[in-house]
Structure 1
């Protein structure tokens, strides 16, 4: 592969990640306070908007993986980006709550069709440096959060009642640019010749759809990755939706809070490839456990110190760790199955992630309620993150050692 082609692939992928994850999923919390004021929404209603996105994601993430396995990831990505463009521009014009629910659901559908097939597509193009490539892709999350953190507070605090609508329109324009880049610079990888190698020998039935499903759904390593990813989904979406509101309720200036969110995104841009390298060298389990420990500390800081310093520490540490969680999980999901099964594996673990995101906003919205119980909500969130980090380290590392021992034993016998 030429250097120019590699740059085109990764840059286009970063734009897709920026649009599908950072803007469609994680920037909602920055726009939420202005939307709450415009529509008179309670925290419960706001949480249901986040749940609508997760529901669209959960309902079709497996469909997206199946489509990518059969027809190629590029088609699926383009379908997803089309949904995002319609959803963003629709939110910029929406006038009632019911339509907001529909459009937020459409954003979830768009993310399902664009992000999960992208991971397996890029992972196949860069099979030898899978962790680094996925880490670079997830730098798009940091870029998007930096963009949103810089632009959204400036628009929503400007002397206009519809600044939040303009923010959604900006997101739509970015997704449109991403679509154009995918058309020109993101082809499907060449077919893997017979999907040869050890992955095929482990599952000869992988040539059929039933064989692919069996290979993924019954793989203990993939299932454990999914459980950990569910906790990541539950806790991170709660932070993405409600942490900005918590900062405002604690007396942090809105513009300063936006700058902190932008700083988190800026750190994430650098952290993505760093975590990819760590994942390639130390293994997915170790890098995932490290990233989740940092994220747990980040979530606990504003619970202990609901001050500017506490929120600053939160955004800095989370910016340094969030791409590590995504990169390590997704690299782990794809490296233990055949290349043909990779899109399905990513979709399968992402289904766990989406289930966590489905539960998180509703539960957090109800828990925060009218009493603004932010500290309790994020204290519980930190506890879940620490527990999942321990699971990642103990169970995943144990699984890796067991596979290595089995492989080594087989090699000795063959000698």
Structure 2
């Protein structure tokens, strides 16, 4: 067991800032800028979805690199390398409208973001090791507060800015996001260096019980396939339904605030169950939140949708990290979390482009939200079959 850092809560805030950059900004703020880019650059839904698929392709590359390197390199260094590189990629995104330029930086942001995001979970798992309840809360806060903060900041500013300055201001949105990332870097750098991962007693690859973890892996794949559709196309759907900038902003701020609150909602569930029940419950909530904008596309329905979706969505990685911590030995945590990240990354690659194609074919992006909800429910059905691993001695 590694030594506890002197200021674990401050360390957790710093690591959460890293998730804010790699998730809240790098992956999900695009959904807020997409309607302006689509209108200004005359994109189809498939082209718009492609950029998040490109981001997901980069995420696969980064997740695989992390899985290979995490047993050979200090996770803190991987976290910091991924973080600063992601910030630079976001800053560069708005400097050219060409699709190849956008594609390149979305791929790189995904690649470096995966390095930082994968290792953030492994680093946070080292906090409060003697107190399982606090450990579960820390893991939940990492994903909930980290991603939620980014969405609150982006949701409060970007729709109103674009509405005031016009669709042509979308490059400034990326510049502002990049500058905000730079402000968060110092505390995140310091936090990662405070965590001392357990020393590797041997160099061989940890022996992961893949067959025993299959239901959880399949459930997490369903999460990757389904959740990204909502983040990518929610603002576009709202714009098509005639929603104004203030309603879009309010919906995303509510989404982000609920993400920040979600750790406290799910804390007892993550601490109580060590099998697949938490992930199954979370995926069911995400499915309901995903389909609600189509069923109830008015102001109140959209806010309720954001509330339900926000209270659940970022707890999926929290549930998986908690599952790994409760069922595997500490020296396997990094490799196991990296494996789950690779599975998730491969699955989420399909979602945005396929959803865009479906939206183009049907002339209604709401069809894609319905399909995503069905996939998420299937993932929940897989996850609920995951038992506690009998050999767990973590």
Aligned partner of 1:413 in structure 2 is none
Aligned partner of 1:147 in structure 2 is 153
Choose which of 165, 177, 183 in structure 2 pairs with 1:159.
165
- Given that residues 286 and 308 in structure 2 are in contact (C-alpha distance below 8 angstroms), is that contact kept between their aligned partners in structure 1? yes
The alpha-carbon deviation at position 194 of structure 1 amounts to 6.8
Give secondary structure in 2 for the equivalent of 1:220: coil
Choose which of 222, 228, 245 in structure 1 pairs with 2:219.
228
- Given that residues 218 and 382 in structure 2 are in contact (C-alpha distance below 8 angstroms), is that contact kept between their aligned partners in structure 1? no
- Given that residues 39 and 167 in structure 2 are in contact (C-alpha distance below 8 angstroms), is that contact kept between their aligned partners in structure 1? no
Aligned partner of 2:66 in structure 1 is 64
Q: Which moved more, 1:157-166 or 1:364-373?
A: 157-166
- Once the two structures are superposed, the pairs formed by residues 331-346 of structure 1 within 5 Å of their partners are 331-346=322-337
Aligned partner of 1:184 in structure 2 is 190
- Given that residues 43 and 369 in structure 1 are in contact (C-alpha distance below 8 angstroms), is that contact kept between their aligned partners in structure 2? yes
1:208 aligns with 2:199: no
1:321 aligns with 2:301: no
Distance 1:186 1:242 in 2: 33
Give 5+ residue unaligned stretches, structure 1. Answer: 196-206, 408-415
- Given that residues 123 and 192 in structure 2 are in contact (C-alpha distance below 8 angstroms), is that contact kept between their aligned partners in structure 1? no
Q: Which moved more, 1:186-195 or 1:236-245?
A: 186-195
More helix by share: 1
Give 5+ residue unaligned stretches, structure 2. Answer: none
Choose which of 136, 140, 143 in structure 2 pairs with 1:135.
140
Give secondary structure in 1 for the equivalent of 2:125: helix
- Given that residues 43 and 370 in structure 1 are in contact (C-alpha distance below 8 angstroms), is that contact kept between their aligned partners in structure 2? no
1:98 aligns with 2:100: yes
- Given that residues 279 and 287 in structure 1 are in contact (C-alpha distance below 8 angstroms), is that contact kept between their aligned partners in structure 2? yes
- Given that residues 72 and 188 in structure 1 are in contact (C-alpha distance below 8 angstroms), is that contact kept between their aligned partners in structure 2? no
Distance 1:107 1:22 in 2: 12
Aligned partner of 1:112 in structure 2 is 114
1:244 aligns with 2:249: no
CA deviation digits over 1:41-86, x for unaligned, max 9?
1111111111110000102202113323221111111111122122
The alpha-carbon deviation at position 272 of structure 1 amounts to 2.0
Aligned partner of 2:17 in structure 1 is 15
Paired residues, what number?
387
Normalising to structure 2: TM-score of the pair?
Answer: 0.92
Give secondary structure in 2 for the equivalent of 1:26: coil
The alpha-carbon deviation at position 380 of structure 1 amounts to 1.5
Aligned partner of 1:357 in structure 2 is 348
Normalising to structure 1: TM-score of the pair?
Answer: 0.87
Shift in alpha-carbon separation, 1:313–1:161, aligned structure 2, 3 A: closer
Give secondary structure in 2 for the equivalent of 1:209: coil
Choose which of 50, 59, 63 in structure 2 pairs with 1:48.
50
Q: Which moved more, 1:375-384 or 1:281-290?
A: 281-290
Distance 1:12 1:163 in 2: 31
- Given that residues 9 and 186 in structure 1 are in contact (C-alpha distance below 8 angstroms), is that contact kept between their aligned partners in structure 2? yes
- Given that residues 146 and 263 in structure 1 are in contact (C-alpha distance below 8 angstroms), is that contact kept between their aligned partners in structure 2? yes
Distance 1:256 1:4 in 2: 43
- Given that residues 142 and 264 in structure 1 are in contact (C-alpha distance below 8 angstroms), is that contact kept between their aligned partners in structure 2? yes
The alpha-carbon deviation at position 247 of structure 1 amounts to 1.3
Choose which of 272, 275, 284 in structure 1 pairs with 2:266.
275
Give secondary structure in 2 for the equivalent of 1:71: coil
Aligned partner of 2:78 in structure 1 is 76
Aligned partner of 2:278 in structure 1 is 287
Aligned partner of 1:403 in structure 2 is 390
- Given that residues 334 and 346 in structure 1 are in contact (C-alpha distance below 8 angstroms), is that contact kept between their aligned partners in structure 2? no
Q: Which moved more, 1:156-165 or 1:238-247?
A: 156-165
- Given that residues 234 and 356 in structure 1 are in contact (C-alpha distance below 8 angstroms), is that contact kept between their aligned partners in structure 2? yes
The alpha-carbon deviation at position 363 of structure 1 amounts to 0.6
